[in-house]
Amino acid sequence: MTSGNLRDELVAIPGVADAEVTLVDDDAPAARIWLDGSRDGEEVRGKVEALLGRQIPSAAPVPPGQRRSGLGKGLDTLIPGVDSDPVPSQLKPQAESRAASVTRVAVVESDAAVSVEIEDGAGNRYTADVGATGSIDDAVLVAATAMASVPEGVVFGVNEVDVDGIRVLVVVARHSGQTSAGASPIDFGRPFAVAKAARQALDGLS
């Protein structure tokens, strides 16, 4: 049996999404199998064993679109166990802190008003005007609250402290009996540090 014919037979097995087959020196087939998850791993394993004429470890489903590598290795080393996770950790979406989504803070001045604009990692922008009796810090906190989608009525406290010669902006947020705090070094402008620290604090309330 040629490698092409064997591959066709393997792919024809229900539950097999794709297969790669090579023939080693003694013409023994070495193959790699990807499963589509539509069939029980043990069921597919039995049919593959019957076709190859030898036993192999239990099979686990692997998404068909997953990147493939390692052509030429044997089935007994390339089909993981049933209980193993079919998706490698590096391919899983990583949870991103909402505080880290603050990518830009701008203070916009015009003849009519002064406003603050915060942009997140997805390109969304949130603005707030600086009131006649308010401050830029206040406007940043309003825009950061809109980004976090938390209920209105959050009370903030903003303090700047020195930690080993480094200026750190600390924001404390209180709402419905909950209290949370965030901090950010003032590497550049103060508004950016206020926005980062506020997002951390708000994240603790949600």
Domain parsing of the chain, residue ranges: 3-89, 103-203
Find how far residue 175's CA is from the centre of its chain: 28
Spatial separation of the C-alpha atoms in residues 152 and 115, rounded to whole Å: 20
pLDDT for res 89: 46
Extract the residue ranges of the chain whose pLDDT is less than 50. Answer: 55, 57-100
What's the pLDDT at 31?
67
Query: What pTM, to 2 d.p., does this model score?
Result: 0.52
Tokens representing residue 198 in the block: 């506020």
Class of domain 3-89: alpha beta
Looking at residue 68, its pLDDT comes to 41
How far is residue 100's CA from residue 102's CA, in Å, rounded to a whole number?
Answer: 5
pLDDT at 19: 77
Residues 6+ apart with CB under 8 A from 156: 141, 171, 172, 173, 174, 198, 201
Range 103-203 classified under CATH 3.30.465.10: no
- The pLDDT assigned to 79 comes to 45
Residue 188: per-residue pLDDT: 82
pLDDT of amino acid 3: 61
Q: 31, 40, 25: which is closest to 3 by C-alpha?
A: 31
pLDDT at 63: 46
* pLDDT for residue 195: 94
Question: Is 142 exposed, middle or buried (CB count within 10 Å of its CB: 0-12, 13-18, 19+)?
Answer: buried
Tell me if domain 3-89 and domain 103-203 are identical in fold: no
